[in-house]
Structure 1
Amino acid sequence: MTEGPFLLRQDDEGVVTLTLNRPASRNGLSLGMLGALRDALADIETDASARVVVLAGAGPAFCAGHDLKEMRARDYDPAYVEKLFTLCAEAMQAIVALPKPVIARVHGVATAAGAQLVASADLALCAEDARFATPGVHIGLFCSTPMVALSRNIAPKHAMRMLLTGDLIDAETALRFGLVNDVAPAAELEARTLALARKIASKSPLTLAFGKKAFYRQAELPLAEAYVFASGVMAENLKARDAREGIGAFLDKRAPCWTGE
């Protein structure tokens, strides 16, 4: 059988929903899927109409991680394996580097590299029945690349527990760990995610780009250097037309009119 498009894109007033579209494999991250995701993010980066991205999954799961059947079919060929994990790293970093907020909308399971997707997103909402895990230890393949995103997203003790046991955690535990921002009834997940995305999309796109880039950059710096860096970002941001417009609108008690400049 021939697979359909790896990704489905839907645009709705500045909110772009990218849906992983391999439901029969629980949206396994094959070479094709990872390439499609990386390329879609590159397209969105230069699309002025796109303000916020929602990552979702078709079928019964968000994403079950790498496609193990594809790995075995390729006989674990070293060249294929190197290409696979390089492409995965590029896709995950593209999420972080995208100058537009990315929200993961999670239902079913998000395991291994699927959990990595959730941890790489800027925000995440999940259904009450969602489950998360980094289960590589069960099959003799430690979740080393998911570990990178996970360890930068939740407390070390929580990350190590997930990585060392491979156990599934439920939605409320993921919320307590800080892996997701909110838990919703399954029937409300899409609407609540869209409402959050639209709220963020109503802000200045230039300001969001400044803020997202600065957030991840300052986190890599020592405290004193982080303040020097952030002060420079604030000064540069203040030169923007949107900043002047936003301040003026606030003082004049009116709605701002963003230009993205």
Structure 2
Amino acid sequence: MITGLLNWFGDSAHWQGADGIPTRLLQHLGYTLLALVIALVIAVPLGLYVGHTGRGGVILVGAGNTIRALPTLGLVTFLFLIFTESETATIIGLVVLAVPPILAGTYAGLQATDKGVVDAAEGVGMTGWQRLWKVEVPISLPLVLGGIRNAVLQLVATAAVAAYVGLGGLGRFLLDGLAVLDYSQVVAGAILTTLLAIVLDLILAAVQRALVPKGVRLAAAAASGKTVIVGGTA
């Protein structure tokens, strides 16, 4: 198996053309990013509203749990029968998959914000809009970005379903390999999908570190019992 896998990756034919690794990788990444952007536009504003106002939290959690239970492949197939357009069906299915973790992370982040801090901000005369963007959002960023990272990992893993309705992406290696019992190709597709997920998660981890205020990171570390080093002193 290992020899066959190395031979498969070493074959130059697999690195060029419409069926090559770079093309399939870009297709997979395209499906993932497009679904992520649409999910962010839907989930973040809704999560901010519900988390800030406290209205509709029970409905939000219930709806999110219901959506999580939907089988993505079945949903994409059903949407394909409705829209008769592979890409539309796939993107809608992926968006439905990505919305719950982003929505839950955004809502949970705002709900977890220390109410004393919010009350203090109100006490110094901040409006509701100012409290949201200057206090609640910065403090909740770790959970918000955590929900986005979770959504991206699920999208990368699930975007392979695009192959089942005639589209490209890394799922083609899995589907085409199974069709001809080429298990080296199947494993290669799984490895490429895993590597893409790891790379994207590392990028988002760096983004999270850059965006989350240092004070919030230090407070989170202190709350978790970790040793916090400031100015080179523990």
Give the structure with the larger helix fraction.
Answer: 2
Give the structure with the larger strand fraction.
Answer: 1
Normalising by the residue count of structure 2, what TM-score does the alignment of the two structures yield? 0.28
Considering only CA atoms, is the larger Rg found in Structure 1 or Structure 2? Answer: 2
Normalising by the residue count of structure 1, what TM-score does the alignment of the two structures yield? 0.26
